[in-house]
Structure 1
Amino acid sequence: MSTIDTAKRAGTAHAAYNGKSGERGPSAGDQAASGAHDVVAAAAALIPTLRSRAAETDALSKLPEATIADLEKARLFDMVRPKMYGGLQVSYETYLDTMIELARGDGSTAWTLALMTTFTWLTSVSYPQHVADEIFVPGASVRICGSIGPRRAKTRRVAGGYVIEDGLWMYNTGFYHAQWDQLGIPLVDEAGEVIGRGAALLPISDVTPVNDWDTIGLRGTGSTSVTVKDVFVPDERIAPMGRNLQDDYAATHLRDIPAYRTPVVPTLALRLVCPMVGMARAAVELLTEKIGTRGIAFTTYEKQDEAAVTHLQLGEATAKIDAAEAVLRQAIRLLELGTERRERMSVEQRARMWRDAAFASQLVWEAVDRLAGASGTAFVNRNGPMNRIWHDVRVATMHGALYADTCFEIYGRVAAGKAPNTFLLPEPM
């Protein structure tokens, strides 16, 4: 599809359309499952409002409560909530389309929603039904944040569960709007020896924010560090990561639904890149809106859109954005197809999709950097929208799960027959 013609984008082999100005809409299956609620259109309708709140969002270092209310009204927090609990349970493709539209409005809003819905999915698959029944209360809002890699964590095994004696977790995106926090902890035996990793689900009242999120980009995500001290977590709210990584989810009540059988990696990695594509599309829109009204300094070009260099810049940047989206759509198609067929994904396939997510994020960054350079002195305004997008995308690429060199190395190791040097992939069988 074209990244320039944003008003009437051409379709792709994998995207459904709702017939309104060429905008993408959910598939027929998604519409039937969600009572015809169009999350893509709902996200697109928020674009002007989100753009108008950009300065407020940055100043707060979290999303304004009005934005949370808008997301709730649009049912965007319900996208990956299981249908049996009143959720929309949309396809991954519709999720991608929705995140693209939302990120065209504001990167921080889309990133926050992406991370929180990711932990909604992870929570959905990680715990048995009686726990899920307590979390996903019918008619109630459910917002979950999390951080599966602790900076430090000390736990103690006790009767019926664990006590988190002390811990620090960074980057809890959406913490200030969540009711639950899913945190990675070491699992220990009675002697205190580490025997594995777990994901502990805590009510937000048991978690203390450090309020240290002050960054150059994605400022509105509220991705604060958090601490926990002397908190008991029952066994039923602790998911062994080793079991999750083998696709042996405790949510047996959801096993007949393909969306809740996909592997942890690459499911989580691909979701991170979805909003980045929308940020890049917003950058294209910004540039093309201005190139017909300004010249190029110290040249005879009175209009930037007359210059061949501008055409080259647009051509290269949009090619990379389209390529990034194509990589994502292909990975999503293979992920969903394999899950529908109940085919167990190999470690090599998981590592490859993780690599592809990192590669797509790298392409997005290169494209946005190119577009920012083409913006001239308009880019240097600290509060300018192109400046904000550039910083948002750069910070997004710094997420530990998207470090390109790390992801390339992990895949390369597996491709060379070595064990993956990460706890997020199962050992080759």
Structure 2
Amino acid sequence: MTITATSDVLTERGEELRSQGQINEDLGKLSDTTVDILRQSGVMKLLAPVEYGGTRAHPVEFAETVMRIASLDGAAGWVSGVVGVHPWELEIMSPKLQEEIWGADQDTWVSSPYAPMGVATPVDGGYQVTGHWQFSTGTDHANWVILGAFVGGADGKPLQPFQSVHIVVPRADYTIVEDSWDVVGLKGTGSKDVTIKDKFVPGYRVINQADLFSGKVAREAGKTDPIHRIPFYSLFPLGLTSAVIGIAEGALHAHLEYQRNRQQGNGFKSTQDPYSMYAVSEAAGEIRASRAALLDNISRIYDTAARGREISLEERAVGRRTQIQAAWRATAAVDTILSRSGGNGLRMNNPIQRFWRDAHMGLAHAIHVPGPTYHAAVLTELGLEPPANLSSMV
């Protein structure tokens, strides 16, 4: 399929995508119409290899596209931000695996999660895998999945010290657990559980997580483009935080549309309430600042990679802090917006409350936990080496 300019598609079909928000939530997964719009937009191809129809775009373009989609429907934006990153990792893996995934269909989606909720035991030619994973975003529309797993011993238990791998598995080898996604927000993402019971995964579909994080996998694959010189935890969180910020922009849009002609109980229009207008304007500024900070951060990291310089631990940690803080600032702004929307803003037929729930669900992702990363960032600024428990996601 030829990629259509994303902005054109989202302009032409933006209101159609917005209208799918409640439908996606009711389904507990993305509707076929939503998936069709996302495929037509080319968002999942932005970070994909050009050999399989991708554009290998600048990460800012990816982030801005995810924000735009999330502002129309939070679930669609979240799926785009998560699933859209996976081709970036797959491009540094085995060419044989890439051909298996995209050779027959370049529109194939690959879901995740990366958390090591399974055990991969080395056997001749690969690994024997068993596990139960939560949070496989967009899994109903994916034909492959990337899963995190601990390397296991002969007893089937994780080896000590822990060693983690990413394994890539076709749809025929895992089971989607229906009715496993009953949550307060981002319901339309269909982030269901998946299970595997004693399946063989050949070695070329497996990479060592430590080697991935250190950049060794990309170097050995001969990938020298700036996008592949960016550390994993500088790029992977980008899609998630972009979705949260886009959701905040969607909440702001819905609030402004609602308030435009809203009559308050005292007989005055909402637009005549200076205190409410001030609060909402301040929230809008916070969302805009969050967006600017996130895009500036990834631009700086990309530019450093493009100059051929390694991104330092301090740059990585401070960058992660910027990314996390952007998500928290944007979500706090959504709280302000909701509190100025009156009781009707919490009615289930008002999209403001759905964006509010989606933002908080996105903020709950492990990638947005501030404590360890904030601690690690300030230690690096002091010239100190943060311990592994603080820097593991930096």
Unaligned runs of 5+ in 2: none
* Counterpart Cα distance in 1 of 2:135 and 2:11: 27
Match of 1:15 in 2: none
* Counterpart Cα distance in 1 of 2:27 and 2:2: 35
Task: Looking at secondary structure, tell me which structure has more helix per residue.
Answer: 2
* Counterpart Cα distance in 1 of 2:11 and 2:372: 34
Conserved? CA contact 1:245–1:424, under 8 Å: no
What pairs with 1:403-418 in structure 2 (closer than 5 Å)?
403-415=369-381, 417=384, 418=386
Match of 1:128 in 2: 94
Match of 1:421 in 2: 389
Conserved? CA contact 1:86–1:138, under 8 Å: no
Conserved? CA contact 2:3–2:40, under 8 Å: no
* Counterpart Cα distance in 2 of 1:334 and 1:76: 22
Match of 2:128 in 1: 163
Match of 2:142 in 1: 178
Match of 2:286 in 1: 320
User: Is it true that 1:287 corresponds to 2:255 in the alignment?
Assistant: yes
Which has the larger displacement, 233-242 or 183-192? 183-192
Conserved? CA contact 1:129–1:252, under 8 Å: no
* Counterpart Cα distance in 2 of 1:156 and 1:423: 27
Deviation at 1:53, TM superposition (A): 1.8
Matched-pair identity in %: 24
Deviation at 1:176, TM superposition (A): 0.6
- The verdict on how the C-alpha distance between 1:400 and 1:158 changes in structure 2, with shifts beyond 3 A counting, is same
- The verdict on how the C-alpha distance between 1:273 and 1:183 changes in structure 2, with shifts beyond 3 A counting, is same
Amino acid of the structure 1 residue aligned with 2:73 = D
Number of corresponding residues: 388
* Counterpart Cα distance in 1 of 2:338 and 2:372: 26
- The verdict on how the C-alpha distance between 1:37 and 1:67 changes in structure 2, with shifts beyond 3 A counting, is closer
Unaligned runs of 5+ in 1: 1-33
User: Is it true that 1:331 corresponds to 2:282 in the alignment?
Assistant: no
Match of 1:92 in 2: 59
What pairs with 1:1-400 in structure 2 (closer than 5 Å)?
37-125=4-92, 127-137=93-103, 139-151=105-117, 153-164=118-129, 166-188=130-152, 193-194=159-160, 196-211=163-178, 212-250=180-218, 252=220, 255-297=223-265, 299=266, 302-400=268-366
* Counterpart Cα distance in 1 of 2:259 and 2:26: 30
* Counterpart Cα distance in 2 of 1:423 and 1:226: 28
Q: Equivalent residue of 1:249, what SS?
A: helix
Conserved? CA contact 2:218–2:228, under 8 Å: no
* Counterpart Cα distance in 1 of 2:390 and 2:177: 28
Conserved? CA contact 2:52–2:106, under 8 Å: no
Match of 1:27 in 2: none
Deviation at 1:237, TM superposition (A): 0.7
* Counterpart Cα distance in 1 of 2:11 and 2:388: 40
Which has the larger displacement, 206-215 or 233-242? 206-215
Q: Equivalent residue of 1:295, what SS?
A: coil
* Counterpart Cα distance in 1 of 2:122 and 2:390: 25
Conserved? CA contact 1:102–1:110, under 8 Å: yes
Deviation at 1:278, TM superposition (A): 1.8
Conserved? CA contact 2:4–2:40, under 8 Å: no
Amino acid of the structure 1 residue aligned with 2:125 = G
Q: Equivalent residue of 2:230, what SS?
A: coil
Q: Residue by residue, what CA displacement relative to the aligned partner does 1:302-358 show, whole Å, maximum 9, x if unpaired?
A: 111111112211221011101101111111111110110121112221121111111
Deviation at 1:35, TM superposition (A): 8.3
Amino acid of the structure 1 residue aligned with 2:120 = T
Conserved? CA contact 2:372–2:391, under 8 Å: no
Q: Equivalent residue of 2:112, what SS?
A: strand
Q: Equivalent residue of 1:87, what SS?
A: coil
* Counterpart Cα distance in 1 of 2:11 and 2:29: 21
**RMSD of aligned Cα (Å):** 2.2
* Counterpart Cα distance in 1 of 2:7 and 2:138: 21
* Counterpart Cα distance in 2 of 1:105 and 1:191: 49
* Counterpart Cα distance in 1 of 2:116 and 2:392: 14
Q: Residue by residue, what CA displacement relative to the aligned partner does 1:256-315 show, whole Å, maximum 9, x if unpaired?
A: 322122110111112211122222122222222232412333x4x611111111221122
Q: Residue by residue, what CA displacement relative to the aligned partner does 1:33-72 show, whole Å, maximum 9, x if unpaired?
A: x989421232343321122222221111000122212221
Amino acid of the structure 2 residue aligned with 1:141 = D
Deviation at 1:391, TM superposition (A): 0.4
Amino acid of the structure 2 residue aligned with 1:155 = A
Conserved? CA contact 1:85–1:138, under 8 Å: no
What is the TM-score of this pair, normalised by structure 2?
0.92
Amino acid of the structure 1 residue aligned with 2:196 = V
Conserved? CA contact 1:129–1:253, under 8 Å: no
* Counterpart Cα distance in 2 of 1:147 and 1:168: 11
Q: Residue by residue, what CA displacement relative to the aligned partner does 1:166-209 show, whole Å, maximum 9, x if unpaired?
A: 21111110111101100011124668634621000000221112
Q: Equivalent residue of 1:147, what SS?
A: coil
Conserved? CA contact 2:373–2:391, under 8 Å: no
